[in-house]
């Protein structure tokens, strides 16, 4: 701590008082009149937000690297008011199917990336290139993955030694896979409710609530900024802390947060993070934070105290990532397009690799693009680590991509043998490839164990590459798959 920090603290104590004079638009003032008592928690939360304290004019007046808005010039009308209820919930009324008349205003419930783009167009544009913005379709419109989702969420029935699966309803999908991937929000009529302010009608929203990263919105846009920039405080602190990412990146299919938490980076954050400044823009390595969080490596504008840019801010995210590590059967170079439903492998499946692992190269980034992304990420590493360290880490990591793919190929060969011998029914039988016990073991091989091992390698959280759903489980799984095949073949003889 320095005298600067002491002054910062004193200033932080006094400063908010000065900003309370921030001007509200008349429309927002109207909202607050009732909503202070109708939804006090939401209003109080917003009052803590930067939105409630800074006008666009003030925001645009900052030096470019401190700026949190990316529009070219101040739009008329909202330049000198703070961003309140009305500014977000009444913008673009014609584009929103969920717009309804509410106390004399045209209000919509679901604020969307298209709405946020009014002030943050660059971020929204980048995000539209992010795989996440297509997370709904990439799961729900891909026949292979849609089948996996149905076999996971559908209730199984048992009758006469046979198991069959019901089709899951939208509500179940919405709180399972689509909680993170996003739902398709549609207006289906309207609902009238008795409220403290009399009877009122509201649009009935299917797929609501949801804040999934690939949500299909009532204005046709894709995504939800509030997945990470949590309503209504929109705290950048929160977006930068790893807990936010953990909401969707913690389960056995993608234990990124858990890996981080046992990595040296994560233990530094857990132990000393309370002394950091997670609010500053740009984010200065060494001064504001002493170990990366998810945001530092993947998203934030990072600078040095000497003013050098370590990494530009990005909401595409994979522009720092040469490899796609998880979710698919094999790790592979990132897809070129965020819409992965367009990919077809030789077998006609919507997968970026063959079942035997060969990448479907035409849809994926090439070596040169991989190298560019690798360098971008390594520049972040190099702001604390020397080149020999970084090379050693990356060489192990890319080797692990190969060995985990190799292990998945072994598991796949056992499945192919099971299909071949009739012990299980597969592609050739026009049967689901995810419904039988051995197929579920195969899924766990890549979806849990190989993914976990790769994430462990990428972020140096060793447990998840060893005994915590890592290599131990890959080898155990293969032994158990072979035993199952033996027992089953005997059964069917």
* Least distance to a copy of itself, CB of residue 277, Å: 13
Segment near a copy of itself (CB under 8 A); pick from 69-77, 80-88, 259-267, 347-355: 259-267
> Residue 290, interface with a copy of itself (CB under 8 A)?
yes
> Residue 297, interface with a copy of itself (CB under 8 A)?
no
Quote the tokens at residue 430: 């026009």
Segment near a copy of itself (CB under 8 A); pick from 71-79, 257-265, 361-369, 370-378: 257-265
Quote the tokens at residue 456: 């462990």
Question: Residue holding tokens 């603290």?
Answer: 9
> Residue 133, interface with a copy of itself (CB under 8 A)?
no
Return the residues of window 159-178 that contact a copy of itself according to CB under 8 A. 161, 163, 165, 169, 171-172, 174-177
Nearer Cβ to a copy of itself, position 137 or 207?
A: 207
> Residue 293, interface with a copy of itself (CB under 8 A)?
no
* Least distance to a copy of itself, CB of residue 305, Å: 6
- Contact by Cβ (8 Å): 81, 65: no
> Residue 50, interface with a copy of itself (CB under 8 A)?
no
* Least distance to a copy of itself, CB of residue 56, Å: 24
> Residue 209, interface with a copy of itself (CB under 8 A)?
yes
> Residue 3, interface with a copy of itself (CB under 8 A)?
yes
In degrees, to the nearest 5, what angle opens at C-alpha 326 toward C-alphas 111 and 153? 65
- Burial label for 457, CB within 10 Å (0-12, 13-18, 19+), is buried
> Residue 1, interface with a copy of itself (CB under 8 A)?
yes
* Least distance to a copy of itself, CB of residue 123, Å: 20
Segment near a copy of itself (CB under 8 A); pick from 189-197, 326-334, 337-345, 368-376: 189-197
* Least distance to a copy of itself, CB of residue 81, Å: 21
CA 338 to chain centre: 13
The residues near 51 (Cβ < 8 Å, ≥ 6 apart) are 82, 83, 84, 232, 234
Quote the tokens at residue 351: 């997968």
Quote the tokens at residue 185: 């929000």
Pattern 410-449, binding to a copy of itself, x per CB under 8 A?
A: xx-xx--x-----------------xxx--x------xx-
Quote the tokens at residue 334: 């990132």
| DSSP annotation of 307 | S
- Contact by Cβ (8 Å): 294, 302: no
Nearer Cβ to a copy of itself, position 272 or 342?
A: 272
> Residue 12, interface with a copy of itself (CB under 8 A)?
yes
Segment near a copy of itself (CB under 8 A); pick from 148-156, 322-330, 339-347, 369-377: 148-156
Q: How far is CA 297 from CA 9, 271, 302, 326, 372, in A?
A: 28, 19, 9, 17, 15
- Rounded CA-CA distance 254/150 in Å is 19
Pattern 14-43, binding to a copy of itself, x per CB under 8 A?
A: xxxx--x---------------xx-xxxxx
**Of residues 474, 111, 206, the one with CA closest to residue 466:** 474
Bridge partners of 199, per DSSP, are 194
Number of residues that bind a copy of itself (CB under 8 A): 143
Nearer Cβ to a copy of itself, position 272 or 361?
A: 272
**Phi/psi at 30 (5° precision):** -60, -50
Return the residues of window 367-386 that contact a copy of itself according to CB under 8 A. 382-386
Pattern 216-255, binding to a copy of itself, x per CB under 8 A?
A: --------------x--x-x-xx--x-xx-xxx-xxxx--
- Cα radius of gyration (the chain): 25
Among 55, 70, 74, 270, binds a copy of itself (CB under 8 A): 270
- Rounded CA-CA distance 389/391 in Å is 6
Beta strands in 82-173 (DSSP E): 100-102, 105-107, 156-159, 162-165
Nearer Cβ to a copy of itself, position 156 or 361?
A: 156
Nearer Cβ to a copy of itself, position 58 or 253?
A: 253
> Residue 157, interface with a copy of itself (CB under 8 A)?
yes
- Contact by Cβ (8 Å): 480, 286: no
């Amino acid at each position: 701590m320095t005298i600067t920090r002491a002054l910062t603290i004193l200033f932080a104590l006094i400063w908010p008082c000065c900003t309370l004079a921030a001007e509200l638009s008349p429309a927002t003032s109207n909202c607050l009149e009732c909503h202070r008592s109708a939804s006090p928690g939401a209003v109080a939360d917003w009052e803590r937000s930067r939105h409630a304290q800074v006008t666009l004019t003030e925001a645009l007046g900052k030096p470019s690297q401190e700026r949190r808005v990316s529009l070219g010039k101040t739009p008329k009308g909202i330049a000198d008011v703070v961003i309140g209820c009305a500014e977000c919930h009444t913008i673009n009324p014609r584009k929103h199917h969920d717009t309804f008349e509410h106390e004399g205003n045209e209000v919509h419930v679901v604020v969307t990336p298209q709405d946020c783009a009014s002030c943050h167009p660059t971020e929204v544009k980048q995000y539209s290139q992010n795989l996440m913005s297509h997370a709904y379709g990439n799961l729900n419109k891909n026949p292979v993955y849609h089948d996996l989702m149905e076999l996971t969420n559908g209730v199984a029935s048992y009758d006469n030694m046979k198991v069959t699966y019901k089709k899951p309803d939208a509500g179940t999908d919405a709180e399972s896979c689509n909680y993170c991937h996003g739902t398709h929000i549609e207006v289906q009529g309207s609902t009238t409710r008795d409220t403290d302010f009399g009877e009122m009608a509201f649009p009935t929203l299917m797929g609501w609530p949801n804040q999934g990263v690939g949500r299909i919105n009532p204005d046709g846009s894709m995504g939800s900024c509030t997945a990470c920039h949590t309503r209504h405080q929109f705290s950048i602190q929160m977006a930068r802390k790893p807990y936010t990412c953990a909401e969707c990146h913690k389960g056995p299919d993608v234990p990124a947060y858990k890996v981080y938490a046992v990595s040296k980076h994560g233990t530094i954050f857990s132990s000393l993070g309370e002394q950091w400044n997670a609010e500053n823009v740009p984010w200065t390595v060494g001064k504001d934070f002493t170990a990366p969080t998810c945001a530092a490596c993947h998203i934030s504008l990072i600078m040095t105290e000497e003013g050098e840019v370590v990494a530009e801010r990005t909401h595409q995210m994979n522009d720092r990532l040469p490899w796609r590590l998880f979710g698919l059967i094999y790790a592979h170079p990132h897809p070129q397009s965020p819409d992965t439903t367009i990919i077809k492998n030789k077998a006609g499946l919507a997968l970026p690799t063959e079942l035997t692992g060969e990448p479907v190269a035409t849809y994926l980034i090439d070596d040169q693009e991989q190298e560019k992304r690798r360098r971008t990420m390594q520049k972040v590493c190099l702001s604390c680590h020397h080149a020999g360290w970084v090379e050693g880490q990356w060489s192990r990591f890319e080797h692990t991509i190969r060995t985990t793919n190799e292990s998945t190929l072994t598991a796949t060969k056992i499945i192919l043998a099971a299909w071949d011998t009739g012990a299980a029914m597969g592609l050739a039988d026009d049967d689901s490839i995810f419904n039988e016990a051995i197929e579920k073991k195969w899924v766990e091989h890549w979806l849990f164990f190989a993914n976990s091992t790769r994430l462990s390698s990428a972020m140096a959280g060793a447990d998840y590459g060893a005994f915590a759903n890592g290599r131990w489980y890959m080898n155990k799984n293969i032994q158990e798959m072979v035993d199952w095949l033996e027992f089953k073949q005997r059964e069917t003889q």
